[in-house]
Amino acid sequence: MADSLIEIEIDGARNNQLFFAPLQQTLRGRIDFSKSQTTGEFKLSRRWPTPVPGMAVGVTGSGEMYVRDRLHETDFKQARILATDRGYGIGPERQSYDFPADDTYPPQTTWVHYMCRAVEGGHAKVIKGKLPNVDKLPGKPRTRFIGNEEKDSTEQLADALQAIAKATAENAAAIKLLLAANNK
């Protein structure tokens, strides 16, 4: 983790989980019953006096994309013991993900894009590094994971204008040939 570039922890205002689109998985968010509003959850704070950390999502400087379970950290030993004693499973300490290279939709750009969206939406917080401006990353983030990406309206308009320009140039060349043939 020494080479980590960016890392976020899933930590919503209401002990939320987060559906992380690049993985098509729901990740555990931080669970802190002391910040709960309902009576039932407040009672659980007696059984769970320490917060359960949320999953961490990160990307390293070398481009490795990973999810790690913060329960393996020494700071959360008490929460880990409580969870295992109550029969809850704990995920692997760290799991790396490798996606096929794609020039149009680079996997790291997509990964960081969704990390930024989670933080901007209040579902996560940055725990290491600094989030970049996604617009300055190479390529575009993938927004559809089933089926093909659709072009946005600006791209569709640009394609249509290019098709019109090409057709106009072809028509002008055909008219020029017809006029030249008539003048002979």
pLDDT tier, 4 (very low <50, low <70, confident <90, very high otherwise): low
What pLDDT is recorded for position 3?
57
pLDDT digits (tens, 9 = 90+) for 148-167: 667 778 888 888 899 999 99
What pLDDT is recorded for position 20?
96
Residue 172 one-letter amino acid: A
What pLDDT is recorded for position 1?
41
pLDDT digits (tens, 9 = 90+) for 25-82: 999 999 888 776 677 777 777 778 888 999 999 999 899 999 999 999 999 998 899 8
Q: Using alpha carbons only, give the angle 124, 20, 100 rounded to the nearest 5 degrees.
A: 130
pLDDT digits (tens, 9 = 90+) for 84-132: 988 888 889 999 999 888 877 899 999 999 999 999 999 999 999 999 9
Phi-psi region of 147 (alpha: psi -120 to 50; beta: other; left: phi over 0): left
How far apart CA 58 and CA 56 sit, in angstroms, is 6
Cβ atoms of 94 and 60 within 8 Å: the answer is: no
Residue matched to tokens 């098709």? 163
- Where do the domains of the chain lie? 4-136, 151-184
Chain centroid, CA 72 distance in Å: 23
